[in-house]
Structure 1
Amino acid sequence: MKVLIIGGNGQIGYELRALLKAANIPHYAPGRDQLDLTVPRQIEEVIAEYRPTIVVNTAGHRNPARAETEPSRCFALNRDAPAALAKVCDQYKSVLIHISSWRVFDGMKQEVYTIKDIPNPSGVLGGSFWQGEQQIREHCSRHVILRLSWVISPQGRNRLTSILNSLTHGEPILASANSRGRPTPADDVARVILAIMRQIDCDAQVWGTYHYNAAETVDEESLAEVILAEASQYRDFPINATELFPDSDNNGKTVNACLDTTHLRNTFGIHSKSWRSGVARLVRDIYVTAKDR
């Protein structure tokens, strides 16, 4: 197995690199100065030179607000780049593992989304993810598309770091009780990707679309309260817990980002982990482990 990671400095790519290094699996993660996803020629040059057996694409545009103001860049990264990757991977007989999002759905369903649910994206970001998936299915038969719910980690901008930053500065937390998801640590996603790659390396024919997120559903307000409780073990915050949330409720609209992982579990034997234990571990890593390094 020889792995090319695209987006190796992002939340998931960073954790995947660490796992591959620990497992002594050959891998290469070019930076943006070496591989610009908006330049198809560079995609082909990197894959032609490195000749990976598996390409993992963790890169992409993932900011919903910015996507609305820069749709051309969003579609270039989430639709056009995956299309170019799929064509080159098919040409060089590399497997493509692509990270997608729950945003291919509109979030209006009350129950968890299954792989049988028909995507109905709302907004530029969701539309770009969905069109990117379609391009991969059309141009690369040996692919795995992995849709995720809320990804959290100690680095980058995500729900965990945003909430902790607001707490640190005594600012209101923009969280809604009507927004529901399953916060999933980036290193847990990396664990899942590695497990998938190991089975592909054993010639398992597992091509298709899968869902993964942590076990159990939580709304944003409840998640913020759990993060506050965990972080308060390590430091004091200049904020009254009863004043955490401004009047933010998505205009009364429920947004559901929860995914059903049955197909992934039945195919690969991969089980979801608790988001609560994941949050506790990540908060400890931020306030304790990082200081010990």
Structure 2
Amino acid sequence: MAGTHPPVIGAGTGVTRQSGKDRQQQPMKILIIGGSGQTGSRLQQRLDDSSLEYFAPSRELLDLTDSRQLQEVFDSYRPDILVNAAGYRNADQAETEPSRCFALNRDAVAELATLCSQYGSILFQISSYMVFDGKKNDAYTEKDAVNPLGVLGGSYWQGEQQIRERCPRHIILRVGWMISERKFELLRNIIDQLKNPSPFNVLGNRYGNPTPADDAARVITAVIQQLDCGAEPWGTYHYGGVNAVSESELARTILREVAEYDEVATDQLNVLTAAVDDESRKFPLNSRLDSTRLLHTFGIHANDWTVGLSRLIKSFYV
């Protein structure tokens, strides 16, 4: 890869941008790491409809933990914005292999932040509600103190800290409960269990903002477009779908949607109490995020997650 220019996907016509005293006509170049993931793949689809250039190397071309490969892709592509949608996401598995979790979510992020600072790139990092302990009664704002419960949450938080220390021009976007068609994610797990004849358990006292991956990609694209116009609103932001719900309410909504296309038992949900969650304190009981700062800064409104959920479940069956 060294010495070559990676292919540009979705090349646009360019926009007018300010550089010192000179105004130059050139397209903003976006590097996406984690382009094959649930958010990264949706982001590519969004950018295909825009006038922005992007390059999303596969895992085979770019190993997030390989310093040499990271340096080479920066040398060859020289992005204006790096969107890091990659990372370690499995909370249960993180407890058994913390070193790998921190290598991806902290150490690799630190290196990306250093490279972005060296090359003058903006770093757009996807983070999570899991930096909070869930003890607050209301939705979390960006001003609330963090207190991660498990390894995964701790890795997110330490990765954020590395960015703040190394790369002043950054956007950190903490998102709510991500739902997509990807295997092992919340939606897929619930659908799979709904089709199992045995009842399964969901928590009636764990609350959060379901956030379809396509909706998260919409938000990221909207922010990027404003950065492309010269906005400099660096810092941390929250986003989650409108109307926070309990895990059991989400499962019931999924049950109703799935029943439109598949035979599922309507009495399979066992609603449990906080005592069950106490056995494993990896997940905060309150995962609700307040998106007000994002709205006031970028004018981006939160979408109704039920619309995205309905469309997503339909895609499973139709």
Q: Which category of TM-score, normalised to the shorter sequence, fits these structures?
A: over 0.9
Counterparts in 2 of 1:103 and 1:162: CA distance versus 1, 3 Å: same
In the alignment, which residue of structure 1 is the partner of 2:101? 74
**TM-aligned CA deviation for residue 25 of structure 1:** 2.3
Q: Find the residue that maps to 1:210 and give its secondary structure.
A: strand
In the alignment, which residue of structure 2 is the partner of 1:291? none
Query: Partner letter of residue 146 of structure 1?
Result: L
Of 25, 28, 42, 2:69 maps to 42
Distance of 1:250 and 1:149 partners within structure 2: 23
**TM-aligned CA deviation for residue 246 of structure 1:** 6.8
Q: Find the residue that maps to 2:48 and give its secondary structure.
A: helix
Of 201, 204, 210, 2:237 maps to 210
1:228-269 Cα shifts (integer Å, max 9, x gaps): 1011111212x3x22322756453667011100111000000
Distance of 1:167 and 1:15 partners within structure 2: 26
In the alignment, which residue of structure 2 is the partner of 1:269? 299
Kindly name which structure, 1 or 2, has the bigger radius of gyration based on alpha carbons: 2
Of 250, 260, 263, 1:223 maps to 250
Of 126, 136, 140, 1:113 maps to 140
**TM-aligned CA deviation for residue 183 of structure 1:** 0.5
In the alignment, which residue of structure 2 is the partner of 1:244? 269
Q: TM-score, normalised by structure 1?
A: 0.94
Counterparts in 2 of 1:173 and 1:14: CA distance versus 1, 3 Å: farther
Counterparts in 2 of 1:20 and 1:45: CA distance versus 1, 3 Å: same
Counterparts in 2 of 1:160 and 1:119: CA distance versus 1, 3 Å: same
Distance of 1:212 and 1:250 partners within structure 2: 28
- Give the strand-richer structure, 1 or 2: 2
In the alignment, which residue of structure 2 is the partner of 1:122? 149
Query: Partner letter of residue 68 of structure 2?
Result: R
In the alignment, which residue of structure 2 is the partner of 1:259? 289
Structure 1 residue 183 corresponds to structure 2 residue 195: no
Structure 1 residue 153 corresponds to structure 2 residue 180: yes
Query: Partner letter of residue 267 of structure 1?
Result: T
* 8 Å contact kept, 2:63–2:69: yes
Of 102, 108, 128, 2:129 maps to 102
* 8 Å contact kept, 1:174–1:248: no
* 8 Å contact kept, 1:102–1:147: yes
Identity %: 51
Distance of 2:126 and 2:90 partners within structure 1: 15
1:151-171 Cα shifts (integer Å, max 9, x gaps): 001223221111111122334
Distance of 2:153 and 2:142 partners within structure 1: 16
Distance of 2:194 and 2:38 partners within structure 1: 22
Q: Find the residue that maps to 1:242 and give its secondary structure.
A: coil
In the alignment, which residue of structure 2 is the partner of 1:56? 83
The worse-fitting range, judged by mean Cα deviation, of 20-29 and 212-221 is 20-29
Of 164, 167, 174, 2:194 maps to 167
* 8 Å contact kept, 1:10–1:156: no
Of 310, 314, 317, 1:280 maps to 310
**TM-aligned CA deviation for residue 26 of structure 1:** 1.5
- Give the helix-richer structure, 1 or 2: 1
**TM-aligned CA deviation for residue 110 of structure 1:** 1.2
Q: Find the residue that maps to 1:154 and give its secondary structure.
A: coil
Query: Partner letter of residue 278 of structure 1?
Result: G
Counterparts in 2 of 1:265 and 1:42: CA distance versus 1, 3 Å: same
Counterparts in 2 of 1:186 and 1:250: CA distance versus 1, 3 Å: farther
Counterparts in 2 of 1:174 and 1:52: CA distance versus 1, 3 Å: farther
Structure 1 residue 10 corresponds to structure 2 residue 37: yes
Q: TM-score, normalised by structure 2?
A: 0.87
Long gaps (5+) in structure 1 = 289-293
Calculate the aligned-residue CA RMSD, in Å: 1.5
Distance of 1:164 and 1:125 partners within structure 2: 24
The worse-fitting range, judged by mean Cα deviation, of 83-92 and 160-169 is 160-169
